[in-house]
């Protein structure tokens, strides 16, 4: 056939010009997506490097569990406000500008952390997190450049990069912090973030939107501000968006509480040193890589999104029950794989459903709203989690996750069965 493309990815000698153009465009998109995966892996590495600094520096500066919760809440509030605006910024000004802004903010973040010598500076160094949305911008690029039927698998690969970064950052951060101190580790993160910025400027195109989408939206984007609340909230009016957001918030809240409290749990409940905490986070990364790379992608190609969402919520409820009764690090390690499975599957499926519900020209804004959901969980999570942990112990967090997710699972299952019965009739 004249338009056939060989398995190597090169067009055959007799390929028609449109087929050659399509093959060239596909290779270009694949290259950009690969670079984005590298940028995400590096960004997560620097972030987990920071996790080996902040809790121990906070403890040195006199922070107790409650004040560390306030510090985490501050980050959640800042990113809650910045997420939708950043997503709108990405849609208006393009992928390169968005990723450049995110990486530059990360550089400033680490430089401020390096000079944090009092509690006030520890709070001030969190201010750049308003624009630190590398993952949000990367999700937009992947959503723009991947076919709708392959979007879930492409987004799940970002989770694989997350696992790689978690392993590298946790291990590296633990060693650097133990041997050279918090200041050196923070400076190392600043240099690494600057390298990520260079990759963005070198390889990421100005925009990743389709030509038709860019043409249709060009006049609107020029005339409307990135702070236009109506332009952001109108996405909630698309069919199915509000319901998916509600599920994402309600079912994700208990898991978010455990996540934001984990540094405190590792430090106070498990009594881990920085290096040991780094090894545990690296174990998280291995679990994330196995789940994202070998499980989630295959499931999304075989089963419906609604069925997989039910599965994720059901497994999450059982994970909460197990967390309520764990007593040591070994027992927690047994829980990690099902926990990462439910968390990864839940995030990938909800993000995929939401981006499919809106035009391709608005994927950045939608990803910004998704990021704001995670920020909302981080905002209320430390306060609620700190209160529960101090007054009722770690078991209360797990039991709440179990009860809430069982309730959401029951309501969704009932709705799913009702729709199935309606279709059969």
How far is CA 101 from each of CA 40, 49, 108, 410, rounded to the nearest angstrom? 14, 20, 11, 42
Mean pLDDT confidence for 69-86: 82
Q: Mean of the per-residue pLDDT values for the chain? A: 82
Mean pLDDT confidence for 171-185: 85
272: which DSSP letter? -
- Assess contact for 367 and 355: CB atoms under 8 A: yes
Three-state secondary-structure class, residue 207: coil
Q: How confident is the model at residue 14 (pLDDT cuts 50, 70, 90)?
A: low
Return the pLDDT at 195. Answer: 95
Return the pLDDT at 92. Answer: 86
203/224 Cα distance (integer angstroms): 28
Three-state secondary-structure class, residue 194: helix
Residue-wise pLDDT for 235-288, tens only, equals 888 888 888 888 988 888 888 888 877 777 877 778 777 677 777 877 877 887
Check pLDDT > 80 for residue 113: yes
64/59 Cα distance (integer angstroms): 7
Return the pLDDT at 56. Answer: 78
Check pLDDT > 90 for residue 84: no
Domains of the chain: 26-204+232-424 (1.20.1250.20)
Mean pLDDT confidence for 7-21: 55
Question: From the CB of residue 212, how many other CB atoms can be counted at a distance below 10 Å?
Answer: 10
418/425 Cα distance (integer angstroms): 11
Return the pLDDT at 122. Answer: 87
Residue-wise pLDDT for 136-162, tens only, equals 889 888 888 887 778 878 888 887 888
- Assess contact for 401 and 258: CB atoms under 8 A: yes
Q: What percent of the chain has pLDDT over 90?
A: 21
351/244 Cα distance (integer angstroms): 9
Return the pLDDT at 424. Answer: 64
Considering only 27-31, 321-325, 386-390, 395-399, which range has the smallest mean pLDDT?
386-390
Higher pLDDT among residues 288 and 110, named by residue: 110
- Assess contact for 12 and 4: CB atoms under 8 A: yes
How far is CA 272 from each of CA 55, 60, 185, 286, 328, rounded to the nearest angstrom? 12, 16, 19, 19, 11
Of 314, 322, 302, the C-alpha closest to 341 is 314
Return the pLDDT at 230. Answer: 72
Q: Quick one: tokens of 384?
A: 């609620």
Residue-wise pLDDT for 221-230, tens only, equals 444 566 667 7
pTM equals 0.74
8: which DSSP letter? T
10: which DSSP letter? P
Return the pLDDT at 16. Answer: 58
Question: From the CB of residue 162, how many other CB atoms can be counted at a distance below 10 Å?
Answer: 25
Question: From the CB of residue 328, how many other CB atoms can be counted at a distance below 10 Å?
Answer: 9
Return the pLDDT at 154. Answer: 83
């Amino acid at each position: 056939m004249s338009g056939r493309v060989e398995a190597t990815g090169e067009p055959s000698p007799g390929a028609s010009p449109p087929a050659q153009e399509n093959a060239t465009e596909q290779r270009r998109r694949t290259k950009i997506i690969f670079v984005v995966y590298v940028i995400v892996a590096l960004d997560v590495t620097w972030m987990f490097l920071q996790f080996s600094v902040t809790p121990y520096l906070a403890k040195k500066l006199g922070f107790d569990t409650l004040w560390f919760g306030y510090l985490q809440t501050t980050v959640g509030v800042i990113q809650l406000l910045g997420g939708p605006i950043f997503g709108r910024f990405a849609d208006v000004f393009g992928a390169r500008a968005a990723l450049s802004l995110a990486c530059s903010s990360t550089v400033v973040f680490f430089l401020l952390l390096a000079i944090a010598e009092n509690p006030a500076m520890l709070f001030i160094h969190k201010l750049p997190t308003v624009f630190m949305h590398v993952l949000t911008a990367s999700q937009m690029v992947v959503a723009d450049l991947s076919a709708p039927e392959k979007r879930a698998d492409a987004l799940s690969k970002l989770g694989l990069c997350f696992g790689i970064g978690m392993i590298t950052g946790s291990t590296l951060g633990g060693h650097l912090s133990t041997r050279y101190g918090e200041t050196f580790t923070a400076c190392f993160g600043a240099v690494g973030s600057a390298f990520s910025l260079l990759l963005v400027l070198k390889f990421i195109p100005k925009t990743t939107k389709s030509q038709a989408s860019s043409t249709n939206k060009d006049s609107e984007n020029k005339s409307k501000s990135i702070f236009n609340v109506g332009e952001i909230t109108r996405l909630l009016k698309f069919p199915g968006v509000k319901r998916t957001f509600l599920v994402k918030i309600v079912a994700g809240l208990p898991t978010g509480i455990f996540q934001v409290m984990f540094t405190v749990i590792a430090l106070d409940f498990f009594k881990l040193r920085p290096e040991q905490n780094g090894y545990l986070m690296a174990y998280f990364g291995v679990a994330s890589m196995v789940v994202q790379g070998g499980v989630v992608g295959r499931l999304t190609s075989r089963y419906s999104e609604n069925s997989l969402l039910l599965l994720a919520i059901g497994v999450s409820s059982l994970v909460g029950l197990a967390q309520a009764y764990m007593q040591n690090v070994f027992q927690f390690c047994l829980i990690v794989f099902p926990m990462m499975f439910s968390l990864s599957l839940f995030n990938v499926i909800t993000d995929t459903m939401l981006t499919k519900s809106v035009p391709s020209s608005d994927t950045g804004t939608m990803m910004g709203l998704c990021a704001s959901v995670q920020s909302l969980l981080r905002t209320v999570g430390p306060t609620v989690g700190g209160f529960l942990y101090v007054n009722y112990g770690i078991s209360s967090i797990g039991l709440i996750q179990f009860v809430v997710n069982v309730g959401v699972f029951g309501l969704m299952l009932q709705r799913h069965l009702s729709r199935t019965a309606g279709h059969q009739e």
